[in-house]
Amino acid sequence: MIMVHNTLLKRRLESLKKNWYKFSKNPVSVLGLFFVLAVSFVAIFAPYISPYPMHAGRYVNFVEASETPSLKHLCGTDVFGRDILSRIFFGFRYSLMMGAVVLSLVVVPGVVLGLVAGYYRGTWIDTVIMRVTDVFLAVPPLILALAICSVLTPSVFHAMMAVSLMWWPWYTRLVYGLSSSLRNEFFVQAAEVTGASRSHILFREILPNCVSSIFTKMSLDMGWVILIGSSLSFVGLGAQPPTPDLGTMVADGAKYLPDQWWIAIFPALAIMITVLGFNLIGDGFRDLFALEDI
C-alpha cells in the first residue's frame, strides 16, 4: 500500500517537474510569475519594507505635501504629505485580498454547480442551474456589482461580497461545458457501470479533468477581479479613504492632474503591474495545458 502511494507521489512530482520545466521555458510566463511574487512579497511585508509605514492610514503632514518624486519619496507625496510608494505597498494588500477572497468564495460553488448541471445535462437540474446562470450573466459583473454596492454602505468588505455574488456563474459555465462533454467519455461510463457513487464520478472522475481549466481561469480572473475592485473604489463604492486602496488613490490623484501627475500615475501603474503578472501566468498555463476556450 505504501509502495503504491510512493510511486503515485513520485509520478505526480515528476509531472509537476515536467510542467514547471515547460512553463519556465517561456520567459514571458516567468516574468509574470516574477511580478506576482514581487507584488505578494511587498504586500505581505509592507509594514517592514515600506519607507513610511504610518503613511498608509490617516496621516497628515502638510509641510511635505504634494512633493515631486525624489530620493526621499521615490513616488512623491500626496496632498496630505503621505509617501505614495508606502501607500502603494499597502495598496497591494487590498488588491490581492480582493482577488483572493472573491475567488475563494466563488470557485467552489461555481464549479460544483457546473459539474452537477453538466453531468445531468438535459434534465430539470441542468435547466434550473443554467437558466439562473444565464440571468446572472445577462449584465456585466461590474454593473451589477456597482448596483449592489450602491445599496450598501461602501466598504472593501461589501465590494468583495458584491463581486463574489456576480462572479460564480463564469465558473459554472466553464465547468458545465467541460463536464457535459466528459460525461460521455469511456472512463466515466466505466465508473458508472462498476457502480461508483455519483459523488465519486463527479469529484474523482470528472473534476480532475477540469482542474487545469479551472486553474488557468483562476489566474486570469485574479487580474480581472482586481481590475473590477479598483473600478469600484475609483467611483467611491469600494474602499473608503483613508484606506490605501489603489483604485481610490487613482481617483483622488485624478483631481490634481495634470500638475501633480505622480499622485494618480504611480498607483495606476501598480494596478497594471499586478494585473499583468496574473495575466501572463494565466497565458502560460493556457499554453501549458493547451487550452483554447478560456
Residues that bind other proteins (CB under 8 A): 131-132, 134-136, 138-144, 146-153, 223, 227, 230-231, 234-237, 247, 250, 254, 257-258, 261, 264, 268, 271-272, 275-276, 279-280
- For other proteins, the closer of residues 30 and 268 by Cβ is 268
Q: How far is the CB of 227 from other proteins (least distance, A)?
A: 5
Q: How far is the CB of 162 from other proteins (least distance, A)?
A: 9
Q: CB 205: neighbour CB atoms within 10 A?
A: 20
CA triplet 287, 293, 294: central angle to 5 degrees?
75
Q: How far is the CB of 16 from other proteins (least distance, A)?
A: 27
φ, ψ for residue 77 (rounded to 5)? Answer: -125, 160
Rounded CA-CA distance 119/276 in Å is: 35
Find the radius of gyration of the CA atoms of the chain. Answer: 23
φ, ψ for residue 197 (rounded to 5)? Answer: -70, 165
- Residue 77, strand partner residues: 83
- For other proteins, the closer of residues 144 and 191 by Cβ is 144
Set of cell numbers at residue 83 = 509617501
Q: How far is the CB of 36 from other proteins (least distance, A)?
A: 13
- For other proteins, the closer of residues 163 and 206 by Cβ is 163
Half-sphere exposure of 1 (CA within 13 A, CB side): 0
Q: How far is the CB of 237 from other proteins (least distance, A)?
A: 7
- For other proteins, the closer of residues 44 and 147 by Cβ is 147
- For other proteins, the closer of residues 203 and 261 by Cβ is 261
Rounded CA-CA distance 288/60 in Å is: 49
- For other proteins, the closer of residues 13 and 272 by Cβ is 272
- For other proteins, the closer of residues 73 and 173 by Cβ is 173
The secondary structure of residue 245, as a DSSP letter, is -
Picking from 253, 90, 109, 213, the residue whose alpha carbon sits closest to that of residue 156 is 90
Q: How far is the CB of 258 from other proteins (least distance, A)?
A: 4
Listed as own residue / partner, the contacts of 65-69 with beta carbons closer than 8 Å and 24 or more positions apart are 66/256, 66/260, 66/263, 68/262, 69/262
Residue labelled with grid coordinates 495545458: 289
Q: How far is the CB of 231 from other proteins (least distance, A)?
A: 6
**Coil/strand/helix, residue 259:** coil
- For other proteins, the closer of residues 142 and 196 by Cβ is 142
Q: How far is the CB of 87 from other proteins (least distance, A)?
A: 17
